[in-house]
Amino acid sequence: MRAIISTVGTSLLGNSKRGLSAQDISDESILEWMARTTPKDISAEVNTLSQLDLSTKEDNLYFLVSETPEGQRCADLLTQYYNSQGFVAESHVVKGVSFNTGQFRDFGMANIVRDVLRLCRKYDGSAIVNATGGFKAEAAYALLAGQLARVPVAYLHDEFRQMVFLPPMPIHFDYERFSEFEDNIDEVLHAQSRKEARHVLDNLPPDIQVLLEDTKKDSKNPYDLSPVGKALIESFDRTDDQLFDLSITSGKKGSHSTLFGDGVCDIHELPKDVQEFLQPILSIAGVKSLQLGRFSPRQNSDRPVGKYVALHDQGVQFKLVCREGWSTLLLITEVADREPIFSLVCNYINKRSYDAG
């Protein structure tokens, strides 16, 4: 199954008012109007969904909506509309997404990321995010969540004739950097006064300070994670779970001998620098497992690099060169179309090679 996750705005109400008389805008009338109207004229969300190859047997639809009454009404109408077509469709209110600026900043942005990531996790990364509807900031954070979850994001502006598909890119938070300052962050979060918190915060690097923000409240814990910090925590938890569950096998029948020793079957058994190199690749949606193949200790590199990326009948294969030597690696995929994963791996390896040079 696949999750289709859509942010929801209120264009449905505006469009239906233009298509119906002002005295006849009941839910029943709007649903009847939707049934006889083209997707482009119904709403931004429906227009985008109509350009996806959806299946009632394979796709479950989720509408993420603000706490506003108008938004919730639109999400309910969309749910009924797609249920009537045979889809499993649900609406979910995202706490903090409203016209209240403080609520949106403190809770809404992080909750968008949390809800999208949790749905992607529920479907093991088999998902598409439709970020066309809703507040612009809501769509921006839905896009961020989609990229962190390594799933495609669809977007269709009113002036576009065709939907724009933003493929998952090999980008991720620097979790190693976060872990390095995790104790300091914890000190700030549990500080009993602003003075105590600022004493620690002012000595942190700018890229770590951005993860924290002053709550502007008189409380014993005056600092909290910023929306970016909360998004990092959600993404960190998801990535760690995904890598922990990902299995490693040997390409040799009857043997578990690999470049990294015998019986290696877990990502955490690999050298730390190899784990860090592989993390963005193994987090790509559709990658099911990693197979270690032929190897030799004769060719080495001070830092892990990849070479010779190629499509394989089971997935995507490349050569890894590191301190221990070299080994062929096969990313076994669970999707039929391996070209997007192939492109992502190529781009990532080329960038790492460029950075190393």
Residue spans per domain, the chain:
2-166, 175-238, 246-356
Residue 107 is given by DSSP the state I
Which SS3 state, helix, strand or coil, does residue 140 take? helix
> Is the distance from CB of 97 to CB of 63 less than 8 angstroms?
no
Q: Which residue has the tokens 């050569």?
A: 319
CA angle at residue 269 from 268 to 270, to 5 degrees?
Answer: 90
What angle is formed at CA 274 by the lines to CA 121 and CA 291, rounded to 5 degrees? 65
Per-residue pLDDT tens listing for the chain (357 residues): 899 999 999 999 989 988 887 667 889 999 999 999 999 899 989 999 998 889 999 999 999 999 999 999 999 999 999 999 999 999 999 988 888 777 777 677 778 888 888 888 788 778 999 998 888 888 888 888 888 787 889 888 766 667 787 776 666 666 667 778 888 888 898 888 889 999 999 999 998 998 898 877 766 778 888 877 877 776 665 444 444 345 566 554 444 478 888 877 777 888 999 988 998 888 887 788 888 888 888 888 999 999 888 888 888 889 999 999 999 899 988 777 788 888 888 888 887 765 655
Which CATH number applies to 2-166? Answer: 3.40.50.10770
Integer Cα distance of 135 and 62 in angstroms: 17
Which DSSP helix (H) or strand (E) runs through 318?
A: strand 315-322
Q: What is the dihedral of CA 94, 96, 100, 102, to 10 degrees?
A: -150
CA distance to 2, 31, 51, 75, 262, per residue, from 249 (Å): 27, 52, 39, 45, 11
Closest CA to 317 of 306, 325, 326: 306
